[in-house]
Amino acid sequence: MPETHTFDKDNTSPAAGLGPDGELPGQHRYVAATDETGLGAVDAVADESAPRGVWGEAWLQLRKRPLFWVSGAMIALAVALAAFPQLFTSVDPTHCELIQSLEPPSKGHPFGFDRQGCDIYARTIYGARASVTVGVLSTLMVTILGTIIGSLAGFLGGWVDAINSRLTDIFFAIPLVLAAIVVMQMFKDHRNLITVVVVLGVFGWTSIARITRGAVLSVKNEEFVTAARAVGASRFRMLASHILPNAAAPIIVYATVALGTFIVAEATLSFLGIGLPPTIVSWGGDISKAQASLRTAPMVLFYPATALALTVLSFIMMGDAVRDALDPKARKR
């Protein structure tokens, strides 16, 4: 007869040395408790919030960078000096007394006086208004001109692209400062802030036009543009509503850096005596006047030059921070 095995009442160990499932002693199987949380619940992603766009991701990156906050604080200070200089000094920058010529710093005059007896601190504060205003207005003008010309060339293509590209090449071959010097000499009797802005804008739009053309060319064949064309959107609507918003990142980056460039250009023209008239307080004009006192009183040159350098540096640093935030490849590097 075949041998039979009997098990204990608890059904955990057999009388013949084998378990109920045929395992040897000490080799009992262990089965974990069933997990009540399903795999789908574990892998699920919360979708209550809307996904971030390009600008949302850029802002998330910018908030983590000290460079952004430092440059932003410097730009905010420059804008405050330009908009509300009376909050920082009560001295009239145009009030000069020769008896105070090259006097050292004193109470109420922390930077001392220049050769004409003008308060250097007041002129440094008020000089921000002309320089920053020229920089902002010139940047707006070149951004508008360059965006229009570059976007039309990249979107329409054909003969429009050919004409605009050749026009851009012609203006690109003319140095900005040299062209501004020649034109400002023609209007030396009508020099004012608007004249400087127009001259810088007319000869400074070429770089941003090329950047815009390249950005539009890279975007206009995307699927969302094809979808807009399929539903009957007009060319203007596709360009204004779909292409330009998605090609704006390099334009904004260049415009931020260009603002500092135009501030330097204005200071250069004023330094040469063909920019803003002497009646308008500007850093370039004060740097030019300080040449005569460079050996005997170098601090007369130091203060306006430092203010100019820090302002330009702030816009360059902001441009670098914005570029890194808007360029995923730069973030990976």
Mean pLDDT to the nearest integer, 19-41: 57
Does the domain at 59-93+128-332 match CATH 3.40.225.10? Answer given as: no
In this predicted structure, the answer to whether residue 39 has a pLDDT above a threshold of 90 is no
In this predicted structure, the answer to whether residue 308 has a pLDDT above a threshold of 90 is yes
Per-residue pLDDT tens over the stretch 218-275: 888 888 888 888 888 888 888 888 888 888 888 988 998 899 999 999 999 988 888 8
In this predicted structure, the answer to whether residue 302 has a pLDDT above a threshold of 80 is yes
Determine the Cα–Cα distance for residues 172 and 157; give it in Å rounded to an integer. 20
**Amino acid 9: pLDDT:** 46
Neighbours of 96 (CB within 10 A): 16
**Amino acid 41: pLDDT:** 54
In this predicted structure, the answer to whether residue 23 has a pLDDT above a threshold of 70 is no
* pTM over the 0.85 mark: no
For the chain, give the percent of residues with pLDDT over 90. 31
Q: Which residue has the higher pLDDT, 92 or 1?
A: 92
Mean pLDDT to the nearest integer, 321-331: 72
**Amino acid 219: pLDDT:** 87
Q: H-helix or E-strand containing 139? A: helix 120-156
Mean pLDDT to the nearest integer, 274-302: 87
Per-residue pLDDT tens over the stretch 185-226: 888 778 888 999 999 999 999 999 999 999 898 888 888 888
Amino acid at 220: K
Domain ranges across the chain? 59-93+128-332
In this predicted structure, the answer to whether residue 51 has a pLDDT above a threshold of 60 is no
Determine the Cα–Cα distance for residues 266 and 274; give it in Å rounded to an integer. 10
In this predicted structure, the answer to whether residue 6 has a pLDDT above a threshold of 80 is no
- Quick one: DSSP state of residue 107? T
**Amino acid 29: pLDDT:** 60
In this predicted structure, the answer to whether residue 122 has a pLDDT above a threshold of 60 is yes
Residue 70: Cβ-neighbour burial (10 angstroms; 0-12, 13-18, 19+): middle
The interaxial angle of helices 176-186 and 193-203, nearest 10 deg, is 140
What is the SS3 assignment for 10?
coil
Poorest-confidence range of 53-62, 222-231, 285-294? 53-62
**Amino acid 65: pLDDT:** 86
**Amino acid 7: pLDDT:** 44
Mean pLDDT to the nearest integer, 2-18: 49
What is the SS3 assignment for 106?
strand
Q: Assess contact for 15 and 5: CB atoms under 8 A.
A: yes
**Residue the block writes with tokens 């004193």:** 106
Amino acid at 82: A
**Amino acid 139: pLDDT:** 93
Q: Which residue has the higher pLDDT, 48 or 180?
A: 180
